[in-house]
Structure 1
Amino acid sequence: MSSMCEEITRRQADITRLLLRHIQAPLSGDLCLRGVLPAPAAADAVRVVVGPPGAHAPDGCTAYEIPLHTGDDEALTGYDVIGLLRALGASTHIHPSDRVSVVLGMTLVRIDPATLRPAPLTRDDNALTILRTLVHPYTEEQPDPRLLGFLFLGEDRLRLYLDAQDVPGVVAADVGLFGAVTALLAALPALLTEEERATVDPADPHCSRLVDLTHW
């Protein structure tokens, strides 16, 4: 993997990790996180899916593609992404038609950060940073497999986007939300490498292969 691709992948994983709490804690109003998607072809961007609380399918959700660098090549952090999402949720924006498309049944909007003023961090954001850092100190060692994103596909179906040392590209793993979750997570590294489980989802441009583990 080239150093540029590795940097994008690392930042994707960092942003996903930072955003996870917004599955339950709204970003703005009743706008919650419903997914984080790796941009196709290792693009320097992240796709964030938002929707109402409790939405467990892409229908009715919106995906925003946000570049990881601004026009002056300044890198956006996960907190910048949160600020942009809050700005989008706080007011009505009319997006040019050439920036709107559809992916996985959702509206996909490609955002130009230069046209938005990010919402500032809150006291709770800063409190969470302090507490998270003490509980989970930063480490250079990356997990394997590494979580790059996720998407709710149904009431009992969650798609995980993973980067694994022994598997090329981005692999998606569909898992159930009930059952032997702890055992599944323990077995996940080995399950991802089993070629007989690997298929392709032609409708999903965010992964190179798919492993269905919903009935494991």
Structure 2
Amino acid sequence: MSGGKVEKILSFLEKHYPEARIILNYNTPFQLLVATILAAQCTDERVNRVTETFFARYPSPEKLDESPLEEIEGAVKPTGFYRQKAKTLKAVSRALIERHGGEVPDRMEALTDLPGVGRKTASIVLGECFGQDTLPVDTHVLRVSRRLGLAMSKNADKVEEELSSIVPEGKRWKFALTLGWHGRTVCTARSPKCSVCGLEEMCPKIGVKGDKKG
């Protein structure tokens, strides 16, 4: 992978997606951690509808920890896989209380040591709430980076390693946000809009089966 191609991609993404941001609504690191856990196999938009009332009802790890599991299951049911998610939220809340005084830690190792918290979730919290230059690999980053030939693995953690080796330090968080935004708006999963994509000339279109205008 040539450094010139990576720089061109970075420049394009930064220029065309200045509005790129985390779509999940939150006010505290704990809320973003919860929302990201709920977003597994669920759209961010649906999670936002659920957390609008969920955060008012469960504003802290302490409140979640003391609440009945069945009650939490009912609250998160619209996000899917609700039994496992409710169990994870209670376990995470207990771990935060016991290990970190109820606060969300600002270290990768401490976050990924929490029950059910992987590198993607930890990277989102660290990048968004603590200003760290992480590179979270969600489904959009995974898909678009492969189509562009930037990373070939299908494993998110390995893709993070591949991308971190070619994206300069200081630009990784912004890269993840903007590449993800490109995936949401242009390089979509089922019908990528290759003909209107500003990256088409340098894209090998790996795995792309169709091209849709506009």
Instruction: Please give the TM-score of this superposition, normalised by the length of structure 1.
Output: 0.31
Instruction: Please give the TM-score of this superposition, normalised by the length of structure 2.
Output: 0.31
Bigger Rg, which one: 2
